Structure 1
Amino acid sequence: MAAPLAGAEEGPAWAKADLRAGIIGCDTSHVIAFTKILHAHPAWRVRVAAAFPGGSPDIASSRSRVDGYVKQLRETSGVEIVETIPELLGKVDVVLLESVDGRPHLEQARPVLQAKKPVFIDKPFAASLADAREIVRIAKETGTPFFSCSCVRFQPEIAALRTDAGVGKVTKAQGSSPFSTEPHHPDLFWYGIHGVEALYTVLGPGCVAVSRKAEGDLDITTGRWKDGRVGVFRGVMKGDYKPIVKVWGETGEVETPKGFDYNGLVQVMAEFFQTGRAPIDPEETLEVVAFMTAAQLSKERGGAEVTLEEAWR
């Protein structure tokens, strides 16, 4: 048997088949970054074959970028651009739902799930808790695997804190990230998701109540977990601030390096597409959305604590 070529990437055990991936929504830099990472790892056997541009005319960061990213996908990565989602579904095996606007996610996800195409849904998962719940319902009804998260979820140094933070029993976690909002979405849905996702990566599900307040240039949301642990999201409203996570335990504290990249998420995505096994329980994803919804209600009530049970209603 011939020896493998020097420098060739050895394929992981889960990479069983060559898969064609399709993109829905080309109005975020994620479509370029994710495509480059997938194509840089041919041993994962997932290649972006087609894309539906999408775009939201009433969001400046969408309408100003979609044409440029479409051009880059076509000319740099050889991606076929199609005019409709049904056309896309006829050409691909798996889907990345990337629309930067969460409002169309339900209607964009519906035909994907009904076609039983495994799908990754980028943040924001949806623009409301009601839409998020309906996506999960359709996924269960059709038996189609999906997952949704921020790239923070699979940042190695953050993910490692969930099993062993090195500080004894964890009592508190704090996720800090830049904080910008978008008027068509609840405040934390747009960019605060990065910090909230960090809390759930470390603490897991189980938050029962949330309160939110402003402190100078910070927007602070505090979650109370049912076992007494505390999760704090610090949204940094001014300055060039890189995401960071800090964890307190019974024997000390630890802080992650600032910043993140997409490599961990994209590798997990490729494995998900190959195996059909979602890396995150849909109920935890819904709890993340409920947490952010409760934070919005708390803001509207002047910082009063809001239970997640109420947010669910």
Structure 2
Amino acid sequence: MAKIGFIDYFLDEWHAEKYPEWIESATDGKMKVTYAYGKTDSTTGLSNADWCEKKRIQLLDSIEAVVEQSDYLIVLSPDNPEFHEELSALPLQSGKPTYIDKTFAPDRKTALRLFESANHHGTPMYSTSALRFATEYIETDKQGIETICSVGPGSFSNYSIHQIEPIVSLMGSEPKRVMYIGTPKSPALLIGFADGRQATIHHFGWECPFSMVLNYDSGNTKLLKPESDFFGLFIKNLITFFETGKPVVDPSETIAIATLIEYGHKAAKNPYQWLELPSETV
């Protein structure tokens, strides 16, 4: 049995709750989350010790111990990406396949540093939103997409990833500029790509399911609603990554996504003005 280690800001959160059962079920018990570390206890839920006791996962007292005793590593902290660099430092030096949960990094420079560390130490690593693997997105034709209008729930800070990731996977990793076009209650971002192509994301509250409309240069239109089991498809991809050490997400896309989120926050301070995106490496 391959042993997986969790490294989290605090362990009583939705991703840590669901991933162990999904991974064990998808591998028929050949992979299992056996170790975990949390930097702090949840302020609203179970302590790390109580969570581990409930999940029958061994709580270890350091990231180093989790890295040493695990075959594969998952750095979680899905709603606190500002801790990813700290939590990932030792995993990315280990050479062991490491998945870093969404949102990968709070800004472009951090994203670049994480990839530089992984490359320097020969550590296979990637990050993604599970929405990337929705069958509806994977199977759609990417050629000739001129415009995308995407909508979804949640706040910009931790849910924009789920709209931006599919957009970048469909339109490419070279967005040029962004403009904030939303309101305080309905954040929205216009993304400009090369050759006049563009995409918008809109947050309309928890009652608004993820969906997007694609318009092609041919004049054809598609409405995509991710109703497939995208979390199950993500878990299968994660298992393949652990087995092969080969991520399917291009680092350039992950860096572009981190850049868009960072500059989306900046653009919100001056709505309806274009903000050019950096292209140079750091």
Query: TM-score, normalising length from structure 2?
Result: 0.89
CA distance in 1: counterparts of 2:214 and 2:46, whole angstroms:
38
Structure 2 gaps, min length 5: none
Query: Partner residue of 1:46?
Result: 31
> Secondary structure in 1 aligned to 2:176?
strand
CA, structure 1 residues 225+70, in 2 after alignment: closer, same or farther (shift >3 Å)?
farther
Where does residue 94 of structure 1 map in the other structure? 72
Larger deviation, residues 29-38 vs 254-263: 254-263
Structure 2 residue corresponding to 1:139, chosen from 110, 113, 118: 118
On the 8 A contact 2:137/2:226 being kept in 1, the answer is no
Quote the residue 1:113 is aligned against: 92
| CA shift for structure 1 position 208 | 0.7
- Mind listing any 5+ residue stretches in structure 1 that lack a counterpart? 1-17, 57-61, 181-187
**Matched ranges for 1:195-210 at <5 A:** 195-210=163-178
Query: 1:271 maps to what in 2?
Result: 240
Does residue 218 of structure 1 match 2:218?
no
* CA displacement 1:140-170 (0-9 Å, x = unmatched): 1111111111111111211222xx26xx721
Closer, same or farther in 2 for the Cα pair 1:233/1:214, shift >3 Å? Answer: same
Which shifted more, 203-212 or 247-256? 247-256
Structure 1 runs, 4 residues or longer, greater than 6 Å off: 310-313
2:128 counterpart of 1:149: yes
Q: Which residue of 2 aligns with 1:33?
A: 18
Question: How large is the Cα RMSD of the aligned pairs?
Answer: 2.3
| Count of aligned pairs | 277
SS of the counterpart of 1:149?
coil
After TM superposition, the structure 1 = structure 2 runs for residues 74-93 of structure 1, keeping only pairs within 5 Å, are: 74-76=53-55, 78-93=56-71
Give the TM-score normalised by structure 1.
Answer: 0.81
Residue 202 of structure 1 and its aligned partner are, at CA, apart by 1.7
Q: Report percent identity of matched pairs.
A: 19
1:246 alignment partner, one of 202, 213, 219: 213
CA-CA distance at 1:218 after TM superposition: 2.6
Q: Report the equivalent of 2:150.
A: 175
Conserved 8 A contact 2:36-2:66: yes
Structure 2 Cα separation of the partners of residues 135 and 203 of structure 1: 24
| 2:44 maps to amino acid | S
Cα separation, 1, equivalents of 2:212 and 2:280: 26
Deviation at 1:52, TM superposition (A): 0.8
Give, in whole Å, the separation in 1 of the partners of 2:40 and 2:206. Answer: 28
Give the conservation status (yes or no) of the 8 Å contact 1:120–1:148. Answer: yes
Deviations 1:278-312 (A, max 9, x none): 11111210111111122122111233111112897
